[in-house]
Chains A and B, each alone.
Chain A
C-alpha cells in the first residue's frame, strides 16, 4: 500500500522540518532533568537510578517508563512509552509502565485532546529514549575505555564486540544517571528499518488489569476517611439556589453535611448547587430524593430547540452577520451557472455520555495542600480552574491522573474537579464526588447543533463553479462562536472551488457547549459531504469520482495573499479516496433498489479519511448498515496497528450512533434526555463490520482518536440516497421517514 517514499528516505533535516510543522514547535529544551526528576513524579525509590523524568532503571534491570498523558481509551498510555522504549532499545517485555501525575515542570502537553499526542510526541518521546540510551552507552564506553561509537545496544544491554564486553542497563544505570545528557535536538534516532516496537501489534498496558477488575479509574479511588458526595445543580443551566431544605436533609441516614454552594455565573466554572456529603454514596443519593430546592432559573429558562430552529431560519433569510471566507465572486458565478442547487442541513446537540459518570476525589489538608484524583483529559486546566475558584496557588495542588472510562472530549472540561475541590474544602475531609447518569446527561458540554444553508452552482459540464455556505451557529456576540460551534478556514471544499463563500451568523445560547470527538468536523462533514453528494448527483457524475475531480481542482488562494493553496495535501486526500474505492469495490457491482453505497471524505486533526458505507433500506423504511470500508492516511507509521484498528472501528460505530439516533433537545432551558434509553449509543446488534486500511505517506505520524469519525454520517446518508433516492438533510435518522416505493 506504500505509494510514496517513506520516512527512511527523508533526510534528517527534512524529517525535523516536517515535525516542526506537525508538532507546532512544542519541543522543549529540558526533556532531560537531573536526578530529582523522578522524585518530582513521586515514585522514585532511593536505590533507583533515574535517567530523566520519563525513565527509571533499577539495578535489577527493570525499566520503568512514565506515561505522562491521560488515558481515556485512545491507547496513549501504551503508545507514548513505546516511542521511548524503541529508542532506548529495550525489549518491550522488560518494560513497566506507570501513569505520571500532572507535572508541568517535567512534562509538556499532558492533555488528551485534538488527536495531538502522536504528532506532538513523535520526536520528543523518541529523543527521550535515545538520550537515555546515549547516556548508558557513554557510561559503558567510559568504563571500558573504548569509543562510544563502537558500542551497540539491544534488549537493554550495551555491548562492545571487539573486546567481547557487555553490561546490562541495570548495571550501568546508577552511573549513567550522573552522565551529561546529550543535546536532544541532535541525538541520533533510529532509522525506521530498525524499529522493533513501533509498528508492532502491542497490547494495551492495562488490558490485563481491565479484564481482572483491578481498580484504576477515577471512580475507584479510595482515600482513608473519605466521604461520598452528590451535587445537585439547577436543571436550567446557570440557575441559582433560592432556598433549599438542607437542615432536613442533614437529618437523613448517613448524611454528614448538606450545604448550598453559591457558585458563579460562568457555565465553564463552578455552578451553583446543593452538596450532600454522606457515609456512602448510596446514602447521599437517597438523601437527594428528599432534597427540595427552589431554583432561581434565570434568564435562559425559556430557550428551546424549537426556538433555536425558528431563529436559525430567520437568520438564514437575512444577510449573514459576517464573512469568514470569500474567494472569487459567488453571486456572479451563480447567476451564470447552468444549474443551481440549494440544500438546508441540520445536526443536533449531542452529549458525550462516556460510560464512567463524571467524578473526582479531593482532599484539602489542614496545611492548605489540596490533593486531587481526577479522570480528566485536561488536568492542568482543571488545576488552574480549582486554584482560581478556591483562591489557592497552583503549587499547592497535586493532581493525580487516573484512567478515564471514556473521554470523547467531555473531560476537557473540569467542572467535576472544581466541584469536588470546593465540597472537600467545605467538608474538611476527603470527598469523592460522583455524578448520577442523569447529572452526566443533563449537565454536559454538548456538541453544538448547527445549521448550514448551501447554494451550489454547476456549469454545463457538471463542474462546481460556485459554493456558498451560510452557517448558522451559536455565539454570545456576533464576532465569536460558542465552544465547539465554529467553522474553520480549512474545511473542504474550501480552496477547491473558484467562487466560494463561507458566511456565518450566530444566535445567543445559554447551554454549555464543548468539544466532542472530532469537534466541528463531526457535524460539518455531514453537511458538506452530503451537499457535495447532491451536487455530484445533480451533475450526473459518480460521487466518488466527483470528489476526486474536485480535489484535483486546487485553487490559488485569492483571499489571503501568500498562504498555501490548501492547508492539507490534496494528493493524500485523493489517495484515501482511491484506496477506499478499490477496497470497497465501489461501482463494480450493480446493487438492487433499496441497497446503496455512499462515500465521504474528511480531513481533520491532521488525518485523512475516506469511508464507504453499504446500506439497505426496506420499503417500510427499516435501515440496515451492512458494511463500512475505512481508508486512512495518518503519516509514515501506524505506531500500534492493534490499537489503531480498534480506534478506527470504534470511531466508525460512534459516528453511526450519532447518525442513527443521538439528539439532545432543549426545552424550558433544560436538557430533555436523561439516560441511555432516550440518548442511545450503538449496541451489539447495530454494530457494523468495518474494514480498515491505511495508506502511508512520507510525513511524521499523526493522531487517530478522531479523524475516522467525521466521514461516517455523510457516507451513510449518501448510501441511503443511493438506495432510496431520499436525501437526508437532518440528523438523527430516527427522526427521518425512510420509506420508499
Chain B
C-alpha cells in the first residue's frame, strides 16, 4: 500500500505491504539504518523512534498506521549530531557495542522534551524498556543528567574530560 508521511522533516511516500513495520520501512525501503532491530517484539527498545513527538517502538508499528505521521529517527535527532544528549553521550563515552544507543537516545530525548530535569527514578521509569546488553545504564543515566544541564546551559560539562580524536 502507498503511505505518505514525514521522516526527519522530509515528506516521503512508500509503497510496501501494509503490515510491514515502520522499522523495516525505515531501514530497508528508505535506507535509514540508524534505527535498529533487536527483537521485533517491543521488548528491547532498539527500534525506538519519535512518532509525532512521542517515543515509540517502530518494530511493531505497521506502516499502514503511519499515514500522515511525523517520524523522527536518530539520523534526524539533530542536524549535525549536536543535540545535548548526543554531546553528553560523547562526553561520557557511553557506548560499548553501541547497538542499543540510538534507541536509548530517542527515548531519552522524548523524556527530556517532557521533563527538563528528570530524577533518577524518573529516568528509570522512562528508560526501563530500553535494554542495553552491555549494561551501560550508569553512564546513560549520568549522560541524561549531563544533557539536562547542557540544555539548561547553566553548567558546563562537568565530567572528566575525555581525549577527543581518533576519528573514524
Which A residues are closer than 8 A to B by beta carbons? 72-75, 78, 81-82, 85, 91-98, 197, 200-215, 217, 219-220, 222, 228, 253-254, 280-283, 286, 353-357, 403-408, 434, 436-437, 642-643, 646-647, 649-650, 653-654, 657, 675-677, 681-685, 687, 689-690
Given the known A-B contacts A93-B164, A202-B166, A203-B90, are A437 and B39 also in contact in the complex, defined by CB atoms under 8 Å? yes
Query: B166 near A280 (CB under 8 angstroms)?
Result: no
Contact with A along B26-53 (1 / 0, CB 8 A): 0011011111111111011010000000
Inter-chain CA distance A403–B95, complex, in Å, is: 13
Q: Tell me whether A97 and B168 are in contact (CB under 8 A).
A: yes
- B86 and A211 contact, CB distance less than 8 A: yes
Q: Are B20 and A280 in contact (CB under 8 A)?
A: yes
User: Do residues A406 and B99 form an inter-chain contact, with CB atoms below 8 A?
Assistant: yes
- Alpha-carbon distance A403/B34, docked complex (angstroms): 13
> Is the Cβ of A214 less than 8 Å from the Cβ of B34?
yes
Assembled-state Cα–Cα distance A676/B85 (Å): 27
Report the 4 A-B pairs with minimum CB-CB distance, sorted nearest first: A213-B34, A73-B97, A405-B99, A653-B135
How many B residues, CB 8 Å from partner? 69
**Contact (Cβ within 8 A) B133 A353:** yes
Query: Are A200 and B163 in touch, CB under 8 angstroms?
Result: yes
Please name all residues of chain B whose beta carbon is closer than 8 Å to the beta carbon of A207 when the two chains form the complex.
89-90, 93-95, 98
CA distance A685 to B46 in the complex (A): 17
Q: Establish whether residues A212 and B74, one from each chain, have CB atoms under 8 Å apart when the complex forms.
A: yes
Report yes or no: A212 in contact with B135, Cβ–Cβ below 8 A.
no
Q: Is the CB of A211 within 8 A of B101?
A: yes
A94, closest chain B residue (CB): B165
5 further contact pairs, Cβ within 8 A, besides A95-B165, A211-B102, A282-B20: A73-B98, A96-B168, A213-B33, A649-B135, A676-B39
Residues of chain B within 8 A of A206, CB atoms compared = 95, 98, 168
| Shortest Cβ distance from residue A370 to the other chain B in the assembled complex, whole angstroms | 23
Q: Is the CB of B138 within 8 A of A690?
A: yes
Residues of chain B having any CB pair with chain A under 8 Å: 16-17, 19-21, 24, 28-29, 31-41, 43-44, 46, 73-75, 77, 81, 85-86, 89-90, 93-102, 105, 123-125, 127-141, 160-168
Q: CB-CB < 8 A to B135: which residues of A?
A: 649-650, 653-654, 657, 681-682, 687
Minimum CB–CB distance from B133 to chain A (whole Å) comes to: 4
Residue contact B166 to A205, C-beta cutoff 8 Å: yes
Give the shortest distance, in Å, between B38 (CB) and chain A (any CB).
5
Specify which chain A residues have a CB less than 8 angstroms from the CB of B28 in the assembled complex: 228, 280-282
Complex Cα–Cα for A197 and B31 (A) = 37
Residues of A within 8 A of B127 (CB): 684
Q: Is the CB of A437 within 8 A of B20?
A: no
Q: How far is it, in angstroms, between the C-alpha of A281 and the C-alpha of B21 when the chains are bound?
A: 11
Closest residue on chain A to residue B78 by CB atoms: A212
Contact of A98 among B96, B100, B165, B168 (CB under 8 A): B168
Contact of B163 among A92, A97, A683 (CB under 8 A): A92
Q: Is the CB of B93 within 8 A of A355?
A: no
Q: Give the residues in chain A near B165, CB-CB below 8 Å.
A: 91-95, 202
The distance in angstroms between the C-alpha atoms of A646 and B137, with both chains bound, is 10
Once A211-B101, A437-B40, A642-B93 are accepted as A-B contacts, the answer to whether A280 and B24 lie under 8 Å apart by CB is yes
Please tell me if the beta carbons of B17 and A282 are within 8 angstroms of each other in the complex.
Answer: yes
Shortest CB-to-CB span from A406 to chain B, Å, is 4
Closest chain-B Cβ to A3's Cβ sits at a distance in Å of 24
How long is the Cα–Cα vector from A217 to B40 in the complex, in angstroms? 18
Q: A201-B160, A203-B90, A207-B95 are in contact. Are A684 and B123 (CB under 8 A)?
A: yes
Contact between A211 and B138 (Cβ–Cβ < 8 Å)?
no
Chain A residue numbers with a CB within 8 Å of B160 are: 201, 642
Instruction: Tell me the bound Cα distance from A85 to B73 in angstroms.
Output: 35
A649 CA / B142 CA spacing, docked (Å)? 13
B99 touches A355 (CB 8 A): yes
A72, A203, A209 pick with most chain B CB within 10 angstroms: A203
Output the least CB separation between A207 and chain B (Å): 5
Chain B positions within 8 Å of A78 at CB level: 166
CB nearest to B97 among chain A residues: A73
Chain B residues with CB under 8 A of A209:
168
The interface residues of chain B lying within 8 Å CB-to-CB of A653 are 135, 137
The residue from B31, B43, B95, B125 contacting A204, defined by CB atoms under 8 A apart: B95
